[in-house]
Chain A
Amino acid sequence: MEKQQKPLVSDIMWVEKYRPTRLDQVINQKEIVKGLENLLKKPNELPHLLFTGSAGVGKTTMAICLARQLLGENWKRDTLELNASDERGIKMVRERVKEFASIMKLSINQQADERPFKIIILDEADEMTSEAQTALRRIIEDSAKTTRFVFICNYLSHIIEPIQSRCVIFRFSKVSEDEVVEYLKNICKNEGVKVDDKALHKIYEQTNGDMRHSINILQAASASGNVSVQQVQNAIGISGRSKISEIIDLAIDSKFNDSRLKLLELLNVYGVSETDFLRYANEEIYKRDLENPYEVSTILAEYDYRLANGAHPEIQLAAFLAQLGRLNLKSRKK
């Protein structure tokens, strides 16, 4: 009964509140917007799409905009949004995708001209095993009459060639510092928040153009109604991402157990995946002033392999942290 009074999370959180709903509202990515708008002119000829680029540059946003513009009001009903890093493997493909694709056939037959097709957005598709990707090939072909796929990935090379060749590929570029700052300023204006220019540049420095991260930092830092460099600094410190930096620092300092406990907190409380941990740990290694970062990175690569092929993730990652501790990196900085 009181439902109307409950605030929606998507209205409270600025990342969602300010997520573009039409292609032309998306900043940067102008070429892609133009390309997609052209393709939309002939919806029946729309090819499968593959969006690739780093995190928080608008890939998922554009896929949703596209679905909305193509399918109209009922886009949600006719769009299947799947995140492969949460439902990886062959089972997910078989059950969810195949099923959705075949249900479509039924409804299409009934109303041949009302809706041209439905859309499957397969987000973070590079997290799928190659078996799962291979199984997808057939499904893409079998459902070609009714279904359009939008694949989204960070690393194009992790998508098997046969899928790449069935898609038109769009490479998303980084959002530039000026554009991020400008965008954040507009949000502040809208929200009645005073902001220091330096604070915005500080945000960019930290996020390197990841809009999701940028907007979240901005909002968390804005509690008092104005955003300063110090508040940005504090906000940054609370994220799961910055825990990884702390974990690596502790490990390098040979504080194995403190580092391990923080890692367990990251995995269990924050819910960060083991592979994401290693991915950002690798970034951290190159940010530090190490004598030989490649040596460390090679060790990391070895444990990444073991993580993928071993049975006990916790053992593998703890072994990795212990390896960092024994290198004595601290006394060997350049």
Chain B
Amino acid sequence: MMWTEKYRMKSIDGFFGNEKERHIVIDWLSHWVKGSKPLLMMGPPGTGKTSFVKSLAKYFDYDLVELNASDLRNKSNLEALILPLLINSSLFGKKLMLFLDEIDGISGRDDYGGLSFLAVVLKDADIPIIMASNSKNQKMKDVLKSSKIVTFLPLTPFASYLLIKYILNRESKILDQDTIIKIIRDARGDARGLINGLQMIIEGTIEGYSKIGSEYEIEESISKFFTFENINETKQMLLNSVLQFSTPKFGYSQEERSRDFLNALYNSIVSNHKNISDEKLANLLHCLSEVDLFVNRIYENRNWRLLKYSNDILLTKLFKTSRNLGIKYSQYSIPFPLIGTIFMRGQSLRPLRNALSKQFHTSTSTVGLFCLSYFLQVIKNGKFGVLDFNSNEDDKINEIIVKEKLRA
């Protein structure tokens, strides 16, 4: 079982952090009468909002009806789902409580009055209604006005520490202080991230703990990787380095990208292509490709236990062939000036590509293959001025086009 499920708190006093806020919620529910304002829990992901509401319902013996953003798209849908509950609540026998999760997800262009309808319903409900949201936005202002708001904060380092200790206890594991502090820092108060990080470290590495004792800089580690003479020494060095195996398929923060071992090796190898023979280059990349397959399989099956073999496999395949090539660390896979013309331009064209895909009734990839450059050519040839893309990003897209026209 994933640890985030295994350690989902089940009783209302089992939570770490936001004690004061949880008390406000308990207080609100125990004093709830018809006509009380509904409750809105604001707060970032991983602060235990959803689990807390579930345990609360259990404790106070309510039947919980839970709806989240994907159930609540528009007015007619909401009406169909909610009104029967409110009108017939007494018929169900047991006490009912309504939980609307992720209400900041009810938005976008397809939302025909979902939130304003909600605001009306909230005003005079027969049953307690609790909502949860990660953020506030303009569309929510009516809902905000008619609710009692409790703001959950990211877990404090101390609460995070207690949670880690609790889990370590249950797992009968110990972890050195430095590593604990590092997990806390990385998770930034998100309990889910904290638990995932802990599971990675405990189930994913050889020694079980003490992985991140002393940290070498990424650059140093990669240079050492390509220069060390002794394979055992290299292995030891890797164990203590900040480099890690990860997969962009499961999301990739800036920091993860720079610590991603395979990516760092790839960037360094291709940036030094001039010093490497075709044969050798093909070999090196083929090895990376193989390790990439292995690592991704581990992630897809959540077999983090196996992650500890990745270094060995990598060393077996890559160590000998990559000696004496003079490969230096590079943070990017392309020379610096090209980052603008390839990555940044690519980013900035995205809204145009998406709009054309809607206009031409085809995938964005087909737009790239058979439409985009022709379209730009036609626009450059003609004198059209501002265009109508029938998109709410029209202004932005027209700006992009002006910029593209200025390109030679």
A155 lies within 8 A of chain B by Cβ: no
B257 to chain A, nearest CB (A): 11
Which chain B residue shows the least CB distance to A207?
Answer: B370
Q: Name the A residues within 8 Å of B288 (CB-CB).
A: 315, 319
| Contacting residues, chain B, for A55 (C-beta < 8 A) | 366, 370
Provide the A237-255 mask, 1 if CB < 8 A to any CB of B, else 0: 0111100000000000010
In the complex with contacts A103-B74, A103-B77, A315-B266, A325-B372 CB distance below 8 A: no
Interface bits A285-316 vs B (CB < 8 Å: 1, else 0): 00000000000000000010010011111111
CA A257 to CA B345, docked complex, whole Å: 20
CA distance A319 to B282 in the complex (A): 6
Query: Nearest chain-B residue to A322 (Cβ)?
Result: B282
11 A-B pairs (CB sep. < 8 Å): A9-B359, A103-B77, A106-B77, A213-B370, A264-B342, A269-B346, A311-B262, A311-B299, A314-B266, A315-B263, A319-B286
Judge whether B306 is part of the interface by a CB distance below 8 angstroms: no
- Residue ranges of B at the interface with A (Cβ–Cβ < 8 Å): 70, 73-74, 76-77, 80, 246-249, 262-263, 266, 270, 273, 278-279, 281-282, 285-286, 288-289, 292-293, 295-297, 299, 333-334, 338, 341-343, 345-347, 349-350, 353, 355-357, 359-375, 377-379, 381-382, 384-390
**Contact across chains for B388 and A3 when beta carbons are under 8 A apart:** yes
Do A60 and B361 touch (CB < 8 A)?
yes
CB of B374 within 8 A of CB of A217, answer: yes
* Interface pair B368/A319, CB less than 8 Å apart: no
Cβ of A107 under 8 Å from chain B: yes
Contacts of A3 in B (CB 8 A): 388
B249: A residues at CB distance < 8 A: 311
Once the chains are docked, how many angstroms separate the CA of A190 from the CA of B188?
Answer: 63
| Contact A272–B278 (Cβ < 8 Å) | no
Q: Interface residue count for A (Cβ, 8 Å)?
A: 75
Q: Is A15 an interface residue (CB 8 A)?
A: yes
Q: Is A143 engaged at the interface, CB distance under 8 Å to the other chain? A: no
The answer to whether A37 has its CB under 8 Å from any CB of chain B is no
Residues of chain A having any CB pair with chain B under 8 Å: 3, 6-10, 12-13, 15-16, 55-56, 60-61, 64, 81, 83, 85-86, 94-95, 99, 102-103, 106-107, 123-124, 127, 210, 212-213, 216-217, 219-220, 223, 235, 238-241, 254, 256-257, 260-261, 264-273, 276, 280, 303, 306, 309-316, 318-319, 322-323, 325-326
Q: Known: A64-B361, A312-B247. Contact between A241 and B80, CB under 8 A?
A: no
A270: contacting residue among B282, B285, B357, B369, CB under 8 A: B369
Please tell me which one of the listed residues B286, B295, B297, B364 contacts residue A271 in the complex, with CB atoms under 8 A apart. B364
Q: Compute how far the CA of A93 lies from the CA of B198 in the bound complex, rounded to whole angstroms.
A: 33
